[in-house]
Amino acid sequence: MTAGRLLVAATPLGQPSDASARLIRALGSADVVAAEDTRRVRTLAQALEIRIAGRVVSLFDQNEATRIPSLLDDIRGGATVLLVSDAGMPLISDPGYRLVTACIENELPVHCLPGPSAVTTALAVAGLPSERFCFEGFAPRKQAARRSWLQSLAAEPRTCVFFESPRRLADCLRDAVDVFGPERRAAVCRELTKTHEEIRRGPIGELAQWAADGVLGEITVVLAGAKPTADADELVVEVNRLVEDGMRVKDACARVIAANPGAPSRRALYDAVLRARE
């Protein structure tokens, strides 16, 4: 029998009308729908005015490992299994990673139905540089771990996106002020695409004051990257010193950047070295 496939599908963050045509077709035709919350996926199907024809099973963090063997058997038997989380793209701080890797290890087809993601949606509306960014998942719950995590981002030049609980947002932003200072720019995106969507942009000091009275809803935070603090001329001198010792310019730039938090990009430093030689 021909093997089936796993479809990893993004679901709307809020507005059901954001569902893709491919997701709608898959919900109505998949043999098995593996959902983070079976009630949520049935509610979505009702809003889209479609009937889920296949078997619906739950798949969340606590039961994913035990569900995998039967889902693999379904796919081997020719079934199409549709994987969805409550909102957005599965695996992105949502269940599904173990199922996807199990399919890959067993050489079973895995395909993705692209669509909404809180990460890219927040990045698009934040008004912060987006050509390079990193995603950090959920901020740590405990203050000591959270402050250590924030400290690790102090010199990160890329824009950073992360999720936070509304109950911990105020504490997280206060810690961010302590670590970064009050002027680091950020955006707090609340209830993205939903009726009460709200985007707050500004220095984190102001955002911390706003959040102090309490915030409700799903929260995505976008944090501006650190501005370069290393002296460009000194970095060029370091690169040239390594080149004189026999290292290639490209490799020398990579080593200097790794040793200097806040340095410009590898390409920018490489160009600076070439300009200095003109």
pLDDT in tens, 64-113: 999 999 999 999 999 999 999 999 999 999 999 999 999 999 999 999 99
Would you say residue 217 has pLDDT above 60? yes
Res. 262 pLDDT band, cuts 50 70 90: low
pTM for the whole thing?
A: 0.81
pLDDT over threshold 60, residue 1: no
Q: What is the pLDDT of residue 2?
A: 60
Confidence grade of residue 232 (pLDDT, cut at 50, 70, 90): confident
pLDDT at 261 over 80: no
Contact 211, 189 (CB under 8 A): no
Least confident window among 79-88, 188-197, 220-229: 220-229
All structural domains of the chain with their residue ranges: 5-116, 119-223, 232-276
pLDDT of residue 45: 97
**Is residue 158's pLDDT more than 80?**
yes
Q: In CATH, what is the architecture of 5-116? A: 3-Layer(aba) Sandwich (3.40)
**Residue 218, pLDDT above cutoff 80:** yes
The pLDDT, as a whole number, for residue 139 is: 97
State which fold the 119-223 domain adopts: 3.30.950
Domains 5-116 and 119-223 share a fold: no
